[in-house]
Amino acid sequence: MEIAIIGLGNMGRAIGHSLLRAGHQVIAYNRTRAKAAALASSGATVAGSIADACRAGIVITMLADDAALESAALATDGILASLPSGGVHISCSTISVALADKLTDAHARVGQSFVSAPVFGRPDAAEAAKLAVVAAGEKTAVDRCKPLFEALGPKLLIIGDKPSQANVVKLTGNFMIATVLESLSESIAFARKSGVDPAALLDFLTSTLFNAPVYKTYGGLILEGKFEPAGFVVTLGLKDIRLVLQAAEAQSVPLPIASVIRDRFLTAIGRGHHNSDWSVIAQIAAEDAGLPATNPPVHRRSHKKAHRRLTTPVRGAACPKLLQQFDRLHLQSVAFHISTYIYTQMVLLIRRFQRGDHFLVSFCVKLQELFVAGDHAKSTALALQRACSCVRVWIGRHLLRTIHVYERHVFVRLRRRDRRQREHPQYC
């Protein structure tokens, strides 16, 4: 069977290899053409465009998020415009329920079929043809694509004739995996802090009560601190949790644990782990417990180099431009994020507790004035510092810690800038 694959990241490339080994003819397309080289060496044909790939009649997309898929599918020269009548678009990506419904309707209007077939498994499982596939769509289209699904792994679930049902299953599964990561992270941090050997604990639990691959795989990664190279980066984990919350909200289903995990992923990204595996939240849990980091972000050094370049005095006319960029990008943006964060938290507190305290309301008004005035970073940070001292009782420990970090971020850079101006006035 001739099949096109659009999106050759870790998963797309591995799926392509599985299809080639099963004897299918694969046409590969990626926006970065160099990524198609690995499949080309295995026998795939490299397409020059999406339209060129769509001549196969069946197209698999494995793209990062809704925006990427929507762009590839609905562009003027995208899948919808290029796929022949009767063609099938199979989406193996983790996408929103809303986008799946939108693509279903769009393809149906032009005589094409849309099948959602998200997969469960990491890139190594995809390479070994051990993925679990969840498919949904018109019966004739799903039956036509069955040989492709069977080439990807031993487990196939056909959940219904509405494509978005498969996306609900995928989001539910990813949410459950994320809860496993969070529970493992907290449990291992608790064991380490209490002096219990985490390896012995994990071996006992995964051989008795929690004898499942997800606990063994991610438990092993957490114990080893092996968060890079990432099998599934934390930014994609955050994307999936947001999709879960969005879909659940549409059905009026509260998911309190999902909100906790979303914040954990945000913390990991904020600490520089955006290129790490999503199991890196175990390191965040350990750091929050006062335990030493086992695997600091590898790109911090590059940030330090960039900071040294930014704060090094420069001769001649380049220095005023440098200082202007320093002030605008580092100071004002930081102050804006501080004030935005505190402002939104205060509004939520007022709404939640239905309080109308004078100091709380005036605090929000003051922040609104700062937004409109576009005040300088130093005066903004000082105003926030004074305001925070008035409402400290209303702000949780995590919010206070964030405020202190950002305040330090602002004032350290102010001191460095002032020192540089004093020590090198001839350059500035």
Could you give the residue numbers annotated as active site?
A: 170
- Residues 326 and 421: their CA atoms lie apart, in Å, by 13
Q: Are 400 and 376 in contact (CB under 8 A)?
A: no
Q: Are 108 and 133 in contact (CB under 8 A)?
A: no
Beta strand 25-29 with 2-6: parallel, antiparallel or unpaired? parallel
- Residues 286 and 359: their CA atoms lie apart, in Å, by 37
- Residues 341 and 399: their CA atoms lie apart, in Å, by 9
Widest CA span in the chain: 77
- Residues 274 and 289: their CA atoms lie apart, in Å, by 21
Is the preceding omega at residue 84 within 30 degrees of 0, hence cis? no
Q: Are 293 and 194 in contact (CB under 8 A)?
A: no
Give the number of other Cβ atoms within 10 Å of residue 117's Cβ.
26
- Residue 378 to residues 133, 326, 408, Cα–Cα distance (Å): 54, 13, 12
- Residues 414 and 164: their CA atoms lie apart, in Å, by 51
- Residues 221 and 215: their CA atoms lie apart, in Å, by 10
Backbone conformation region of residue 88, classed left if phi is above 0, alpha if psi is from -120 to 50, else beta: beta
**Any idea how long the chain is?**
428
Long-range contacts of 32-40 (CB under 8 A, 24+ apart): 35/8, 35/9, 36/8, 38/8, 38/13, 39/5, 39/8, 39/13
Q: What is the dihedral of CA 411, 414, 416, 420, to 10 degrees?
A: -160
Which of 284, 376, 271, 373 has the alpha carbon at shortest distance from 332? Answer: 376
